[in-house]
Structure 1
Amino acid sequence: MPPTMPRVRIPLSLPRNSRALVPSAKPQWIAQRAYGTVVDGPVTESKPTTTFEKALTATAPRHNWTKQEIKEIYDTPLMKLAHAAGAVHQKFHDPAEIQMCTLINIKTGGCSEDCSYCAQSSRHNTGLEASKMIQVGTVLAAARVAKENGSTRFCMGAAWRDMRGRKTNLRNIKEMVKGVKDLGMESCVTLGMIDLAQAKELKEAGLTAYNHNVDTSREFYPSVISTRTYDERLQTIANANEAGLSVCTGGILGLGEEAKDHVGLLFTVATMPTHPESFPVNTLVPIKGTPLGDREQSPFDVTLRTIAAARLIMPKTIIRLAAGRTILSEEQQVLCFMAGANAVFTGEKMLTTACNGWEEDNKIFAKWGLRPMQSFQAGKEEGASAPMREGAEKKKNQVELGR
């Protein structure tokens, strides 16, 4: 017979601090934090419940946002908001790719509108002289220079209210658009209000995108401009969409608005039937002689918060650092890229204001491992980038083939 094992008396309760003596029924994750404390406990996945959590885990854009939901996201503590936006950005875009855009004036000054921020209004005393539209050849020469320096989208702006009665100008603009496309570049124009027929003509000429900013919230808008209504802006955007053009529309920070107006701006854009292909984030550049010429520029945290919130709310849209980028440090710009910005204006000038140059941007790109987004890479599907579309298609094919 085998030897009898001695009996061991097992206590009915364990002494305090003796949990380590009993093996856990389930494996536990033990994480060592940087400052030395240890946190243990099983990692569990729960279904997202808050607006912020739903935005963070979204797999596609949504268009039925409420203002309260957008406010909840916008009001998230900034560090948490920026980190989350970065995660969403990496899910929908290649974070190393930045679209490089160059914007020139093809017709300067003399505009009849009263936009309180604009140097090109004929109602303001800025000292800017009005000019006629420049020649097609001059525009295409500028486009070639932009391409040689790395820009992949070429944008052309004309200072006037709308395109009514401008048949000759429209014909010349279409020649510019065709010429830019022949260079292998995307083209974008901002020509004020256009009707559906004009939008279709531009589309047929090969135009990639139409820019028409809404500027700010519907509520604050009357404080900015009185000569064009908010709904007229939305109608132009609808015309561009119906014609099959990509839409570029965004806003300006630092006009005297409040945080609720940033929420209102995002609400307007994020609830459009189709999210814009690109969303430019401008910060006011105060220009002497305009009603806002003495304002201080908007602080950086507002820019970062707006970019991060926009990324969570419109995950596929390209977010562009636009006017006012010259006041940002290199590190601030990179932080914006990490939080979701993936386009810039670059070149010699941006309409009438200073612009970060190609040489400066190329140095930043090289240092931080960034590269220009190639032309025609952004998809029509609400700003989807080519790598994301190709990856989804590859995954779909693998499923169909049973691999």
Structure 2
Amino acid sequence: MDMIRNNWTREEIEEIYNLPFLDLVYRAATVHRQHHDPQEVQVSTLLSIKTGGCPEDCSYCSQAARYHTNVKVQKLMEVEEVMAAAERAQDAGSSRFCMGAAWREVRDNRDFDKVLEMVKGVNALGMEVCCTLGMLSEEQAQKLKDAGLYAYNHNVDTSEEHYDDIISTRTYDDRLNTLENVRKANLSVCSGGIIGLGESSKDRVGMLQTLANLPKHPDSVPINNLVPVAGTPLEGQDPASVWDMVRTIATARIIMPKSMVRLSAGRLELSYEGQAFCFMAGANSVFSGDVLLTTPNPNVNSDKELFQILSIKPRKAFKDESKAPVEFQVTPTAGKALGIEEVVIS
């Protein structure tokens, strides 16, 4: 069985990435079967709980305030609205519910208090709760953990060398510091990147090296393909090919054997055959639902059909029990959203 390593060199990863395509997929599939059930895929739902108006300048993002896109700014949703969306996602087969807010960073204010209520409420449903809220401190990460958060997403996006071509409003180290704060709170780390940003294959290798050489591999590694958005600097950029997606996923699987590798944004452009290749190469998680934050995504019925064709079964929540919340109480606000007075789960 492949040994877990955190000292990969660029040369080693590059050699893997550039293997003959079918050899690469075979090797990745072999590693995948050593550590995971190849017929099992985690289904997650991602909801934008606060949309648009972000002060960052990420070149790919429709939610940056400085770009003129079709995204309308919306304030933070109410707890009841989020709970209803989480219940719908659970009924549709999702075991993880992710909440994204277009913030540069988490601030200790009423909005953050409301997010904590959302976390408590969704956790009470028995779903894995994930948030992506921008940068956060160690204390804020701990508050989220205490509320019942299971995972926190904060992508590195691309290689350190290519990063400044994509984002100037926060540094690569800012991202790594947030991941460190998430780890310190013993939250499940979700961190990956985006391909199709005009990067080279060496940049993809560099991004994967950053992730694989973290003190602990991310529990979840989303691999996104650019969805060009009109009004952003990358609106004319061609997304990466399916072959590049498979190569990136396969390499991630080989160097981070135990991580969940998520086939994320850009899936609508992939055929069933292309997605099947990604699953064969080690992807074992997808986002379900018509919209992924603000970009289109395959609908639930399409995914059900694909899963049936491939004999794939959805992964159950909290399979990695080391990250599962042990005990929590639902506050009156979250309880009201659930239609209950009080819940204690141990």
On whether the aligned pair clears a TM of 0.5, the verdict is yes
Residue 64 of structure 1 pairs with residue 18 of structure 2 = no
Q: Give secondary structure in 2 for the equivalent of 1:101.
A: strand
Matched, 1:366 2:308: yes
The CA distance in 2 between the partners of 1:379 and 1:368, in whole Å, is 27
Q: Is 1:95 equivalent to 2:38 in the alignment?
A: yes
Structure 1 residue 127: deviation in Å? 2.9
Q: Given the alignment of the two structures, is residue 219 of structure 1 paired with residue 161 of structure 2, yes or no? A: yes
RMSD of aligned residue pairs (Cα, Å): 1.0
Q: How does 1:377-392 map to 2 (within 5 A)?
A: 377-378=319-320, 380=322
Q: C-alpha displacement at 1:226, in angstroms?
A: 0.2
Alpha-carbon shift at residue 188 of structure 1 (Å): 0.4
Cα distance in structure 1, aligned partners of 2:320 and 2:248:
22
1:69-84 residue pairs with structure 2 within 5 A? Answer: 69-84=12-27
Quote the Cα distance in structure 1 between the aligned partners of 2:320 and 2:206: 26
Aligned to 2:343: none
Instruction: Provide the rounded CA distance (Å) in 2 between the counterparts of 1:147 and 1:61.
Output: 33
Q: Deviations over 1:51-91 (max 9, x none)?
A: xxxxxx51x31111111111111111111000110011001
Shift of 1:378: 3.2
CA contact (8 A) 1:277 1:380 kept: no
Q: CA deviation at 1:128?
A: 1.8
Hey, what does 1:139 align to over in structure 2?
82
Residue 20 of structure 1 corresponds to none
Q: Which amino acid aligns with 2:156?
A: V
Question: Residues 143-222 of structure 1 correspond to what in structure 2 (within 5 A)?
Answer: 143-164=86-107, 166-222=108-164
Alpha-carbon offset, residue 297 of structure 1: 1.4
What is the SS of the residue equivalent to 1:364?
helix
Secondary structure of the residue aligned to 1:220 is helix
Cα-to-partner distance string for 1:203-251 (whole Å, 9 max, x where unaligned): 0001010000000000000000000000000000000000110110000
Aligned partners of 1:128, 1:360: CA distance in 2, in Å?
Answer: 25
Runs of 4+ in structure 1 deviating by more than 6 angstroms, as ranges, are none
What corresponds to 2:198 in structure 1? 256
Which residue matches 1:339? 281
Structure with more contact order per residue of length (Cα contacts < 8 Å, sep ≥ 6): 2
Aligned residue runs from structure 1 range 277-296, under 5 A: 277-296=219-238
**Separation in 1, partners of 2:69, 2:177:** 30
User: Which amino acid in 2 is paired with 1:284?
Assistant: L
The aligned length equals 323
Give the SS at the match of 2:37: coil
> What is the TM-score of this pair, normalised by structure 1?
0.79
Once the two structures are TM-superposed, the CA of residue 181 in structure 1 deviates from its matched residue by 1.0
Deviations 1:298-320 (A, max 9, x none): 11110000000111000000000
Q: Please point out which of 241, 259, 278 is paired with 1:299.
A: 241
Question: What's 2:185 paired with?
Answer: 243
Q: Corresponding residue for 2:72?
A: 129
* Distance in 1, Cα, partners of 2:111 & 2:181: 19
1-structure distance, mates of 2:308, 2:74:
38
Code of the residue aligned with 1:160 in structure 2: it is W
Distance 1:341 1:81 in 2: 14
Q: Following TM superposition, by how much is the alpha carbon of 1:379 offset from its aligned partner in structure 2, in angstroms?
A: 5.2
Structure with larger Rg? 1
Q: SS at 1:374's partner residue?
A: coil
